[in-house]
Amino acid sequence: MSLRNVAINDDYSWDAGERARLLQSPIVPETRRLPGGTSAIGAVFIVVNAALGAGLLNFPAAFSAAGGVTAGIVLQLVLLLFIISGLVILAHCADACSERTYQEVVRGICGRLTGVLCEILIAVYTFGTCIAFFIIIGDQLDKLLGAMMPSLAGSSVPWYADRKFTITITGILFILPLSLPREISVQKYASSLSVLGTCYVTFIVIFRCAQPHEQIPAYIPSRASSWIAVFNAVPTICFGYQCHVSSVPVYGSMQQQDIRRWAIIVTAAMFIALCVYTGTGVCGYLLFGSGVDQDVLLSFPSNDVPVAVARAFIIVCVLTSYPILHYCGRAVLEGLWLRFTAQEAGEEPRRERRRRILQTLIWFMLTLLLALFIPDIGRVISLVGGLAACFIFIFPGLCLINLKLSEIQEQKSKSWWAMISYGVAMVTLGAFIFGQTTTKAIFVDLTS
């Protein structure tokens, strides 16, 4: 999913007493007003944009892995309760520690070590998502070239249409130049393109499903083979709904920073995302059954013109989203580097430029090479989806626990114990999802 507005962290020298005092009595009014900030409607669309992304293409396969439409929808609704509550918890913790990015909130509430772990996981998550973007480019270009040049359908593919060449040349010509600048000003254009592209893909899948078609779908089970099989869809759902890293700066930019208003905003945003994901997942699954590809667009024929337009939209979205994800990961790595080398952020521009270019080239080459040798996007999402569970469940749960434990109360109320219990439940569920999905993904990769 998309990660935005991740800034380089400042170093903190708080001791335990200072942090405890800050969390015990945050001087934050119930409602804060920020002149010129983001409106409620604007915040809804920003959160929706942060949630919608390349994971949309994998939802029909996730419904198939879960064992059907009912299992996929029920699993989404259950996880959405934790997803929405996690977004609200993060906003409350942002008020408590007066921070404006995800990793800084985790660092301020849970301490330095947890904050460093969070930064590392954000870097790994963005790195894995960039690999998935390259795979999507290769998948869609294969189909587009097949539609434009039907002669490529034979067994021998010329060098200029080879998947490895098309991915490499597209990355060098478009992605690398957009990733080199210090600031990514194309973000505002990428946001509108991403929302437009994902909505068009959903429309095409639903439209094709509603049309009379001669193709008989593969086997469509009515129920999951076992309760464990339902968890096969969890990585895709977590990857699709992961907008928590972006949510903290969105909340910090709002005109009225109020927890109740924020709860309504994220609920509305997640409902929109639910409609888009469910529409694509259900219709794509009913259209192709258990034989649906990991990327639903690959299940459609190459000569389908409206689907070809959807493929072009997805390619453009990925080309503009990769630099944003790379910028987020690079910013986190830059913050870690400056902190552990005890350097100042305002160093000599020439030295900063050399390091930035070197970091970008290494990031670009590693993600490109891995994408060339991992042709299945499902494998990448299964790993990245496990990391997304950390941002959705584990870190918000830890923040809630630490925030409540910092409160000085002679007698703990029932609500206090309820919040502690809920935080423990979030951490436990997140750890289970992360462990189960990551272990399975590694096992499948090794056995394959």
CA atoms within 13 A on the CB side of 275: 8
The length of the chain is 448
What is the rounded CA–CA span in Å between residue 383 and residue 401?
27
**Domain extents for the chain?**
16-376
Instruction: Quote the pLDDT of residue 271.
Output: 95
pTM: predicted TM-score of the whole model, two decimal places: 0.85
What is the rounded CA–CA span in Å between residue 407 and residue 112?
20
Of 318, 313, 64, whose CA–CA distance to 204 is shortest?
313
Instruction: Quote the pLDDT of residue 252.
Output: 87
The 10s digit of each residue's pLDDT in 30-86 is 456 666 677 888 888 888 888 888 789 999 999 988 888 888 999 999 999 999 999
What is the rounded CA–CA span in Å between residue 254 and residue 32?
9
Of 132, 101, 129, 87, whose CA–CA distance to 6 is shortest?
101
What is the rounded CA–CA span in Å between residue 336 and residue 261?
34
What is the rounded CA–CA span in Å between residue 305 and residue 324?
29
Of 264, 198, 273, 263, whose CA–CA distance to 241 is shortest?
273
Instruction: Quote the pLDDT of residue 260.
Output: 93
Cα 185 to chain centroid distance, Å, stands at 20
Q: Mean pLDDT, 10 residues at a time, over the chain (448 residues)?
A: 42 40 43 68 86 88 87 92 96 92 93 94 94 93 83 70 92 92 64 78 92 70 70 89 90 88 94 94 90 90 89 88 87 85 70 90 96 85 90 96 85 89 96 90 74
Q: Which helix (H) or strand (E) holds 77?
A: helix 69-97
Instruction: Quote the pLDDT of residue 420.
Output: 95
The 10s digit of each residue's pLDDT in 254-270 is 888 889 999 999 999 99
Q: Which residue has the tokens 């934050």?
A: 28
Instruction: Quote the pLDDT of residue 46.
Output: 84
- Orientation angle between helical segments 69-97 and 244-252, nearest 10 degrees: 40
Q: Which residue has the tokens 């869809």?
A: 233
Q: 365: how many CB neighbours lie within 10 A of its CB?
A: 12
Instruction: Quote the pLDDT of residue 66.
Output: 86
Q: What is the CA radius of gyration of the chain?
A: 22
Of 60, 52, 127, whose CA–CA distance to 374 is shortest?
127
Of 246, 253, 273, 270, whose CA–CA distance to 122 is shortest?
246
Identify residue 273 by its one-letter amino acid code. Answer: A
Q: Are 127 and 390 in contact (CB under 8 A)?
A: no
Q: Are 43 and 265 in contact (CB under 8 A)?
A: yes
Instruction: Quote the pLDDT of residue 176.
Output: 94
What is the rounded CA–CA span in Å between residue 134 and residue 139?
9
DSSP 33: E
Tokens for 157?
């593919």
Tokens for 12?
């903190």
What is the rounded CA–CA span in Å between residue 318 and residue 299?
20
Domain 16-376 in CATH 1.20.1740 = yes
Instruction: Quote the pLDDT of residue 154.
Output: 56
Of 325, 321, 324, 326, whose CA–CA distance to 356 is shortest?
326
Identify residue 48 by its one-letter amino acid code. Answer: V
Instruction: Quote the pLDDT of residue 109.
Output: 95
